Amino acid sequence: MNICDLSTPALLVDADALDANLADMAALLPGPRLRPHVKAHKTTALARQQAAVGHTGFTCATVREVEGMAEAGLGEDLLLANEVLDTRRLGALDARVTVAIDSPETLTAAVRGGVREVLVDVNVGLPRCGIAPERAGWLADEARAAGLTVRGVMGYEGHLMLLPDLVERARLTEECMAKLAAAHADVGGEVVSGGGTGTYAMNTWVTELQAGSYALMDTAYTAAGLPFRQALTVLATVISVTDHVGSLPGWAVADVGLKALGMDHGNPSVDGQVWFVSDEHLTFAPSEPLRVGDRVRVVPAHVDPTVTLHERLHVVRGDEVLDTWAVDLRGW
Amino acid sequence: MNICDLSTPALLVDADALDANLADMAALLPGPRLRPHVKAHKTTALARQQAAVGHTGFTCATVREVEGMAEAGLGEDLLLANEVLDTRRLGALDARVTVAIDSPETLTAAVRGGVREVLVDVNVGLPRCGIAPERAGWLADEARAAGLTVRGVMGYEGHLMLLPDLVERARLTEECMAKLAAAHADVGGEVVSGGGTGTYAMNTWVTELQAGSYALMDTAYTAAGLPFRQALTVLATVISVTDHVGSLPGWAVADVGLKALGMDHGNPSVDGQVWFVSDEHLTFAPSEPLRVGDRVRVVPAHVDPTVTLHERLHVVRGDEVLDTWAVDLRGW
């Protein structure tokens, strides 16, 4: 099939860019050194590619992601790297499920849901989830007393991912990981989990890195100096063209809007200048004249929330559609 | 059922606010004077409520919305108020389908797809779709020569919807509608379609108003002086609480993030101060101390792109869940 036959807007993944990203990361962090985060693509077929290059443990952000990975037969070692109170669906899954805890309440919820293994989530500097490092050992003791296996610690230095200064990013990563190491000394267990695409090359302290964005990549990560290739675009059709009106230069309108693009990092990029984005429209001044019916490829400013808006993802090489994958981990 | 039993994040619609919004609009613009826009809620069950108060013609933004409305038996008079080239699925629907055209290409696509009725979409000032007013008559002639029925014109003054100065908004609406009236004189037909929630009270020129947001409402429309009530919130669970770290005051984290909130209008509102939003987290300083497990209601900054992120919408009165509706018009 050719991309001309696709209804638009349509998510496209460049097969060669994806393959290169997966191979490059697997070379640096082989097998269990990487625990790919599925939140970045929400697609079990893509996770299967990551498993094929050696990573069989995965990171998830939602119960639905854990559930879908288990149903897809990818449940060898699933980490729900997030606090969760509604654990009803976790215990019965045909998978090895480990859950992050950072409080007595999340500990109790894990027990109640039939979860057997946990990591203690440690706050290493990002003001979000995670227990204070000096209290991690106490929570681990409580968890073991409640019958849980404590596999170790996790801590996410998310506030450092896009720091432009690489030296500063590395220095602060070391500071964060020193906190995690201190907590680990108190908690025990073999797992020290953390990091992301932005710190993949400098976070040498974790036993497993939780990177996700590296597979499809983000323009913000490219700007932050990451070497992975932009693999994801949104294909759109030009549905209206106006030459010019008074002093306004000409513009084109493509059928991709707020409901097909993650907008929290701002407007997408296209060959030309973006004017504004509406629910189902992108209005822009194209670099070269366009005609109604032309196809354009739009690069979203943030990949993760873009993928979650689409039902499927088309794997392409040039204009040829090689495969179509369901984005089957959406929802909660 | 009580909202405590819902998995979070969950879309909530306040039944009383919704009913009041529907009744207030129907009183001002009864029956066919309003053609509710389904893009604002993407929910056929909600459209059915709009039909119950008298509006049986609907506005759609996508082929999928037209298709879903037809399948739900709400196809008495569906307007696809958008340019579309991929018309393959439109002709065979069991519904009266009218499509907007603004170019020879969209005209040809309508014929090719088996569409029988069109409106000429006129650019009234918003730089997006629509033919120049002075060329509308020509396109109507072409459409009739191709065997299509031309029902009239449409023109959307979208750039005026949120203008804070009501007098200016009214004056500019009149200017836009004068352009639409001139085009209508050349095009003919009984329909003059346009307007939106922001101009519902002042656009007295259209024969049918295309408002959608009035049903669930948006904080931006409330700020712009619209009298409808905020009916939509997102229910979230507090999953982590931190007292304070160094000089940072305490914060809470709720399980609602970029994948559950339309972010193009900025951060959501919550009882407290929002710090930042991550994929699955909202980090904020709450007004009153919160505990892990507490539920909070978050008001998204933009309703339309928020709704499209959710599979269902729970109709509530206080903490009681009265009904659950599928958001069944998502996708394309």
Domains parsed from chain A with CATH numbers: 3-10+229-326 (2.40.37.20), 15-217 (3.20.20.10)
pLDDT band at B263 (very low <50, low <70, confident <90, very high): very high
pLDDT per position in chain A (332 positions), as tens? 999 999 999 999 999 999 999 999 999 999 999 999 999 999 999 999 999 999 999 999 999 999 999 999 999 999 999 999 999 999 999 999 999 999 999 999 999 999 999 999 999 999 999 999 999 999 999 999 999 999 999 999 999 988 999 999 999 999 999 999 999 999 999 999 999 999 999 999 999 999 999 999 988 888 888 899 999 999 999 999 999 878 888 999 999 999 999 999 999 999 999 999 999 999 999 999 999 999 999 999 999 999 999 999 999 999 999 999 999 999 99
Which residues of chain B make contact with A311, given a CB cutoff of 8 A? 331
| Closest chain B residue to A279, measured at CA | B305
Query: Rounded to an integer, what distance in angstroms lies between the CA atom of residue B278 and that of residue B265?
Result: 16
Residue type, A269: S
Instruction: Check CB contact under 8 Å for B239 and A129.
Output: yes
If one counts every other C-beta atom within 10 angstroms of the C-beta of residue A260, the result is 27
Q: Which of A255, A279, A304 sits opposite B39 (nearest CB)?
A: A279
Measured in angstroms, the CA of B97 and the nearest CA of chain A are apart by: 19
Decide: B194 and B180 in contact? Cβ < 8 Å: yes
Residue A97 main-chain phi, psi, to 5 deg: -120, 125
Q: Please state the rounded mean pLDDT for residues B293-313.
A: 97
Question: End-to-end alpha-carbon separation of chain B, Å?
Answer: 32
Give the pairing type, strands B251-254 and B232-242.
Answer: antiparallel
Q: What pLDDT score does A220 carry?
A: 87
User: Which tokens belong to B106?
Assistant: 């969209």
On whether any CB of chain A is under 8 Å from the CB of B84, the answer is: yes
pLDDT band at B223 (very low <50, low <70, confident <90, very high): confident
Which residues of chain B make contact with A259, given a CB cutoff of 8 A? 304-305, 308
Q: What pLDDT score does A247 carry?
A: 82
Question: End-to-end alpha-carbon separation of chain A, Å?
Answer: 32
Q: Which of B132, B260, B305 sits opposite A259 (nearest CB)?
A: B305
Query: Rounded to an integer, what distance in angstroms lies between the CA atom of residue B206 and that of residue B191?
Result: 8
Instruction: Check CB contact under 8 Å for B242 and A123.
Output: yes
Q: B90-112 burial, b for 16+ CB within 10 Å, e for fewer? A: beebebebbbbbbbebbbbbbbe
Cβ neighbours of residue B100 under 8 Å, at least 6 residues apart?
A: B79, B80, B81, B82, B83, B106, B118, B119, B120, B121, B129, B154
User: Which tokens belong to B71?
Assistant: 């399948």
Which residues of chain A make contact with B280, given a CB cutoff of 8 A? 39, 61-62, 82
| Closest chain B residue to A121, measured at CA | B240
Which residues of chain A make contact with B251, given a CB cutoff of 8 A? 127
Decide: B128 and A281 in contact? Cβ < 8 Å: yes
Whether the predicted model's global pTM rises above the 0.80 cut: yes
Q: List A237's β-bridge partners, or say none.
A: A295
| Closest chain A residue to B61, measured at CA | A280
Q: What pLDDT score does A254 carry?
A: 98
Q: B114-144 burial, b for 16+ CB within 10 Å, e for fewer? A: ebebbbbbbbbbbbbbbbbbebbbebbebbe
Angstrom CA distances, B58 to A312, B55, B122, stand at 28, 7, 19
Q: How many helices (H) and strands (E) does chain B have?
A: 8, 15
B-proximal residues of A, 175-214, CB under 8 Å: none
Q: ipTM above 0.90?
A: yes
Of residues B112, B54, B60, B41, the one with CA closest to residue B315: B41
Query: Rounded to an integer, what distance in angstroms lies between the CA atom of residue B154 and that of residue B210?
Result: 10
Of residues B109, B94, B61, the one with CA closest to residue B307: B61
On whether any CB of chain B is under 8 Å from the CB of A54, the answer is: no
